[in-house]
Amino acid sequence: MPTTVTIDHLGQAGDGVCHWQGQNHYLPGVLPGEVVALDEAGRVQAVIEPSPDRQSPPCPHFGICGGCQLQHMTPAAYEAWQVQRLGQILERAGVKVTEMAPLVTMPPHSRRRISVHVRWLKGKAIVGFKQRKSWSVVDVRACEIAHPDVVAALPGIVDLAGPLAQIPKAAPTCHLTRTETGLDVHITGVPPRYDARLRAQVTSAAVAMDLARLSVGKEIWIETRAPQVRFGDVLVTPPPGGFLQAVPEAEAAMAQAVQNAGKHAETVMDLFCGAGAFALRLARDHAVEAYEMNAEAITALQTAARRQQGLKPVQAKARDLFRMPLSAKELNRAQAVVLNPPRAGAEAQVAQLAASEVQTIAYVSCNPQTFARDAKVLQQAGYRLCRLQPIDQFLWSPHVEIVGILEKLST
């Protein structure tokens, strides 16, 4: 007989949480307050009493594809949950925020960048996203989050990466980026076991797709024109596979928050700067020192800065800020610092910031947990988290981007 349970709340990953067989049980695709029937294995058989916050998912792959977790939730309820969850994370960490700005949301079909997996199964190539908690790949023909130009390229990926998927032990992942000059495709997960014939076959498919650039591993196989993205009004050619924010409008919202925070600074340091999404915008009004461990990204930033007229001086250097964080003395050359680390946060660099005299810190984070950890250190060192800007870059997922503005209290 099925077991009937009531969903209590959503967990951090967007799963519904209920108490079942003496412990919390996490169920995908259900919402707080819903009564659901479970089979003997604890899987949802049916939603008996749906929540008023439930809607019909817009994507035909929802529930099988692991890319979106919350399409079944109305926009108002989804956005409220994102803000509530962020507040809970900060509260648990003991981080106080003076002002929580309204959530900035992204519309469907806005992502310029996605990654799809390619597998060779039963004599044909399968292109799509991994299933939830599985290595299996869902054959995708539609995507509600990706830009139409990116979705339109998916059929061509069959001919492009299908031959590579037939290489023994290959598991190609195609990273597609829509740029101002065309599609940029970077393929990883391919052992270097290809001959000239296979390479020519793949390159021919790239030409047929009119790709701006195709790179496999660390090598560019074809570049018909430089793929270019725009950081403010500065055109940049990012390196193959280099970091880039997924949605241009989300990047612009982050940049606006960063620029507002540092507007009174003469010199701004941009740490974990990537190819210059913030640095090149800031250089319109400030001298900029930029640091990033990826040397190719630094080269792209330097090249763009040299070509662009009207910028203040930009110094960009390759440096591993995890192993060699800037010291408090070095940081004191700037009045404002932008910090945009990966998900692990910036524990070592934050320790030096805490000991510095930097007046303003704009901390851009894709992980509220590590942000809260680092913000707590800065607050204990005399900084006030005066404003927090949440940005829902990854629509229908539990991920949220934040820009925290911290000001050093006068002593």
Please enumerate in sequence order all residues whose Cβ is within 8 A of that of 371, keeping only pairs 6 or more positions apart, or say none.
345, 363, 365, 402, 404
C-alpha–C-alpha distance, residues 296 and 274, integer Å: 9
- Residue count (the chain): 411
Cα–Cα distance, 390 to 238 (Å, whole number): 26
Tokens of 283: 């250089």
Q: Is 215 helix (H, G, I), strand (E, B) or coil?
A: strand
Collect all residues with Cβ–Cβ distance below 8 Å to 161 and sequence separation of at least 6.
118, 125, 127, 172, 174, 187, 202
Instruction: Judge residue 115's burial from the number of C-beta atoms within 10 Å of its C-beta, 0-12 exposed, 13-18 middle, 19 or more buried.
Output: middle
Residue 77 main-chain phi, psi, to 5 deg: -70, -40
- Whole-number Å distance between alpha carbons of 304 and 322: 26
Residue 42: phi and psi, rounded to 5, are 85, 15
> Do 127 and 146 contact (CB within 8 A), yes or no?
no
Determine the Cα–Cα distance for residues 312 and 316; give it in Å rounded to an integer: 13
Which has the closest alpha carbon to 91: 370, 362, 372, 367? 372
How many other C-beta atoms can be found within 10 angstroms of the C-beta atom of residue 349? 22
**6 and 34 Cβ atoms separated by less than 8 Å:** yes
Say which of 18, 59, 366, 386 is annotated catalytic. 366
d(CA 279, CA 231): 9
The three-state secondary structure class of 304 is helix
The single residue listed with the structure tokens 């540092």 is: 262
CA 342, 348, 354, 355 dihedral sign is: negative
366 flagged as catalytic: yes
Instruction: Give catalytic residue positions.
Output: 366
